[in-house]
A and B are shown apart, each in its own frame.
Chain A
Amino acid sequence: MATTEVEPRRVKYTWRDRLGHWDVKASPYLYIAPFFIVFGLTGLFPIIYTAVISFMDWDTIRNTGEYLGWDNFQFVLNDRQFWIALRNTFSIFLLSSVPQVIIATFIAAMLDHNLRARTFWRMGVLVPYVMMPVAVALIFSQLFADTYGLINHWLGYIGIGPIGWHVDVLSSHVAIASMVNFRWIGYNALILLAAMQAIPRELYEAAAIDGAGKARRFFSVTLPQIRPTAIFVIITSTIGGLQIFDEPRMFDTTGTGGADKQWLTITMYMYNTGWGQLNFGRAAAIAWLLFLIILAFGLLNFWLTRKLISSDQSGSK
């Protein structure tokens, strides 16, 4: 029916042919469509919405706003708390992510050996990850209490005076970073372990025959071989580290980052502005600034990691 009039040059397709053709062409998109529809609703829309209200004095309850231009951004960039939060975020990020990746790589290398009860050890490192962050925070708040905490108690035995975990800036960051590390080291170790398992054993044999010792084999074979996975681990822990929220928020009972904002992070600053002060326009501006910071830092990190790990092994991939 439909084939009668148009384009006589073409081979006549039946409805069935067309359907088949359409199936091949369109189906893949249909299969991935649910993800993008859900992402559009839950991801893209909020991102755009946030951008819009970041230029407004937004009242989320009445759903009305007054256009302010760049005022919100200007306020945030001139706010002392923003810069303190930025400092704290990077400090906690460095104190957590760097040791975390190094220790995770080390643990993964250890687990890569032929251990007895291998599965037990491998699953064991994942236990902290399964614990609820709130439960972790409860345990650590007992450990890091300033006067009656276990850690200050133990430090007392070796003559180190009580540390003001909730007073001193760096101490509070160390305490929070240890919480983060406790939770994420095992997880990252398992990912790195999986990458190490995939390294062909011949490479090690060849290196051993060439006379490479354990350390040399680790640095010259293992590390270059796990590079893509290491980049993944570093990028995800960068994003996670810059968005750190649960641990510092649970670090004291008010969750506002301490009396002198010693451990206020950017996400806490954003939360306090949004839900604490009900100033959602300004919180949206903070969200966008955080997004830009993460983007810039993620790219820098990606570039650095590629450089560092491949520097002495530029040939091998």
Chain B
Amino acid sequence: MSFTRRKKSLALTAGAAIFAMTIAGCSSSDDETEEPTSSATGGTTEEAGSGEPVTLTLATFNTPGYNSVEQPNADYEYDLIQEYMDLNPNVTITYDRKAESGDARTNFFTKLGPGGLADVEMIEVDWMPEVMQYSDLLEDLTSADTEGRWLESKVADATDADGRLIGAGTDVGPEAICYRASLFEEAGLPSAPDEVASLLDGDWANFFEVGQEYADATGKAFFDSTSGIWQGMIGQINPAFEDADTGEIIATENADVKAAYDQLTAAAADQSTGYQQWTEDWNAGMSNGDYATMLCPPWMLGVIEGNVGDAADDWNIANVFPNGGGNWGGSWLTVPSNGANVDEAKKLALWLTAPEQQAKAFANAGTYPSQPAAYEDPAVADATNAFFNDAPIGTLFADRAEAVPAAPFKGEFYFQVNTAITDALTRVDTDVNDAAASWDQAVSDIEALG
């Protein structure tokens, strides 16, 4: 009895070991088979396309709107992947989509050096500054055909010090203001989108003045979270945290940053919920009327609709943004230089980010194009959103995209510094610290960086 059991467990161990070896064997043989392909395609790329068969891998995350694999229930109108394969019969595309940007980021940085990334990799604005440190490992996508294709800020973010464009812009997140009409009415404020747009037209001081009026009238918070509002404010400060020439951290000496911090913490006392974005409370508060406004990039519309359902169907959107414009989110397609099919991969990346294709991606998944020409496309220009009282989101966000200022310089420490400051804001908002003590803490956190 005991003997047979031992034998069985031995067999199991042996099996596991063999399994492990098989995996190792597989991956190494994979690498070997990839080598010849690269040399084969290297020769064919000169004859512009229709050459020998090529298999390209495309890796994205979230829902870029390329193929309904992303959201089986959403029933996309267009299949861009299939379209490209029909146009280029020699190309087969393997489409790999990760659920979250964080997974994609880890994967990207794990494989960027040693190899193993997809031929075309999508990257997000949040990790763009880190990617830029390794811009020499990515292909230059500059081409005469794409001159003037993208919004200026989109190109600036993806251009390195040597002037190489390493990312082909896909979508952007120009911000408007979402608000709840019934709550505005309750506070005696105008509630039609046009009226709200002119009410909030102005700088942040004006926004917080309206907020104070709202808070005084209702005793409730005006905006959703300090970190959300901070995102809009810091995007307009240039330079913000780092010196563009030296890369030195200047956040703690930058008077503009401190002024914005003081302005926001002062307003937050009455006007903020004390919630953090994406928490249960924040989600619930969206339906329960805990706050009346939030900053709204195009992708946020889906978040709001999905979150509140029928519980709060008076969310609306106003074509305005305090102090000009702001961008929240957006992605690029990059081509890692150590890929096997670099030239074919470049073609795919540039095709997918052409205005026509990005307009279709918008129709599919609501990812707002970074290509001004796409705003003329009927698929974008005529788009309305039924949940937001048929708001003309196509033209509305085109206005907001025009208003987005040149992106501030973001160096290697941008997100660490920003985290230190948003943490400071949250501490004030949740009464852990007062504004001054919390700032001092942020300063010492920032000084510890590097």
Contacts and interface: CB of A to CB of B under 8 A. Distances in A.
Nearest to B114: A63
Given A31-B10, A167-B430, A253-B276, A147 B423 contact: no
A37 B275 CA distance: 51
A66 B20 CA distance: 34
Contacts of B290: 147
Candidate in A79, A146, A148 with the most chain B CB atoms within 10 angstroms: A148
B278 interface: yes
A278 B430 contact: no
Give the dominant DSSP class at A's interface: loop
A117 interface: no
Contact of B419 (A62, A149, A256, A275): A256
Contacts of A236: none
Interface stretch (B257-265, B279-287, B302-310, B365-373): B279-287
Interface residues of B, number: 40
B109 A164 contact: no
A147 B285 contact: yes
A147 B284 contact: yes
A283 to B, nearest CB: 13
B281 A61 contact: no
A157 B35 CA distance: 68
Interface residues of A, number: 32
A254 B137 CA distance: 29
A277 B10 contact: no
Contact of A277 (B284, B416, B445): B416
A260 B13 contact: no
Contacts of B430: 164, 166-167, 259
Given A35-B13, A38-B17, A166-B279, A145 B284 contact: yes
A145 B109 contact: no
A293 to B, nearest CB: 21
B192 interface: no
Contact of B279 (A34, A253, A256, A278): A253
Nearest to B433: A260
Interface string B99-119: 000000010011011100000
B62 interface: no
B431 A167 contact: yes
Given A38-B20, A259-B430, A142 B280 contact: yes
Nearest to A34: B17
Interface in A103-136: none
Q: Top 9 nearest A-B pairs by Cβ distance?
A: A34-B17, A259-B426, A145-B280, A253-B278, A61-B113, A148-B284, A259-B423, A147-B281, A167-B430
28 contacts: A34-B14, A35-B13, A35-B17, A38-B17, A38-B20, A61-B137, A62-B113, A79-B448, A80-B448, A141-B280, A145-B279, A145-B284, A146-B275, A148-B280, A148-B288, A149-B280, A149-B281, A166-B279, A167-B430, A252-B279, A253-B276, A254-B276, A259-B423, A259-B426, A259-B427, A259-B432, A260-B427, A278-B109
